[in-house]
Amino acid sequence: MSAQIIYGDQLAQSLREDMKQEVKKLKNKGVVPKLVVILIGDDPASKSYVSGKQKAADFIGIDSELITLPSSTSETELLKLINDLNHSKGVNGILVQLPLPEHINEQHIIEAINPDKDVDGFHPISIGRLLTNQDTFLPCTPLGILTMLKSKNIEIAGKHVVVVGRSNIVGKPVGQLLLNEHATVTYCHSKTKDMSLYTKTADILIVAVGQAGFITSEHIKEGATVIDVGVNRIEDGSLTGDVNFEQVKEKAAYLTPVPKGVGPMTITMLMKNTIKAAIAQTK
Ligand code: NDP
């Protein structure tokens, strides 16, 4: 058996076309969704993520402003900027590109963003709403993964989902989101003993570790759905996932590639959240 590949880039493109139409209609009603992205320092990976976000916004017709600040920016200066943006009527969504320089406390920054403009879905209020299954801004990568699963009508309710990785931005929220969809969820992390005991029973395996080729065919059961979140740069300069694609594709029923998998969906969900914010703020 060879897995059906879920191409996130294709799905993302078709969703972006739909969003473009939606934004056109909003503009006719005088609503122009606006996203402000703050980039501190000159980390090449962060720069490339931010440019992907801007390209998507431009395509859809979302007004996106990039504020670049030097890595010497103080926490107080950044908090002041966020406070100004929180109060700026024309700004619907605020995103601070992570990671931040070490002298800035990430949690202080995340908590300073007005939850109504928290399009990344990282604010504790957004996370609390996710936990209690209320309407909220869902974190973009988990929402992208859910959208990919739904696009292939992959059953979630009653299925065993195993999430490898428990970060606040991917692992924990994706497990919670799929729990809300009635999956039975198991988390694995660096202290898990005999990880393959769990991964081998997964109907849906989601891997967000950050180690190239970490999951092999030995870790999965025949016919599983495998979602590869990892983005790792290898020696030849190319990007690869956390899953050994060539091996796992012979055993899985569905598999996401890297690149062209979860990444483009993450960006697209940021756009979705920005449009949601604009609509909510004009009500
Ligand atoms: P973190 O580094 O924050 O988390 C990694 C997780 O992997 C931790 O929970 C860690 O466990 C776990 N882990 C590490 N080693 C092992 C091990 N040997 N066995 C089991 N679990 C282990 O990463 P992120 O969640 O932020 O990102 C993960 C990957 O996804 C990265 O490659 C990142 O670049 C990518 N990513 C991709 C996105 C996309 O849109 N495609 C978006 C965000 C991230 P512990 O908690 O015990 O330390």
- Is the pLDDT confidence value at 1 over 80? no
Please indicate, yes or no, whether residues 44 and 92 belong to a single structural domain of this protein.
yes
DSSP tag of 73: -
* Omega cis (within 30) before 99: yes
| Average pLDDT, integer, range 101-112 | 98
Please indicate, yes or no, whether residues 174 and 102 belong to a single structural domain of this protein.
no
Q: Is 97 a catalytic residue?
A: yes
Q: Is 120 a catalytic residue?
A: yes
User: How many CA atoms, within 13 angstroms, populate the side-chain half-sphere of residue 42?
Assistant: 1
Please indicate, yes or no, whether residues 44 and 100 belong to a single structural domain of this protein.
yes
Q: Which pLDDT belongs to residue 132?
A: 98
| pLDDT, tens digit, 9 for 90 and up, residues 121-132 | 999 999 999 999
| Average pLDDT, integer, range 81-99 | 98
**Nearest protein Cα to ligand 1, atom 42:** 141
| pLDDT, tens digit, 9 for 90 and up, residues 163-186 | 999 999 999 999 999 999 999 999
Q: Which residues contact 211 (CB under 8 A, 6 or more apart)?
A: 230, 232, 242
66 three-state secondary structure? strand
pTM of the model: 0.98
Residue 47 lies in a domain: yes
**Nearest protein Cα to ligand 1, atom 30:** 230
The amino acid that residue 40 corresponds to is I
Residue 129 lies in a domain: no
In 178-223, where do the E strands start and end? Answer: 184-188, 204-207
**Nearest protein Cα to ligand 1, atom 31:** 210
Q: Which of 34, 97, 118, 249 is catalytic?
A: 97
Q: Quote the number of domains for the chain.
A: 2
Q: Around Cβ 87, how many Cβ atoms within 10 Å? A: 9
| pLDDT, tens digit, 9 for 90 and up, residues 236-279 | 999 999 999 999 999 999 999 999 999 999 999 999 999 999 99
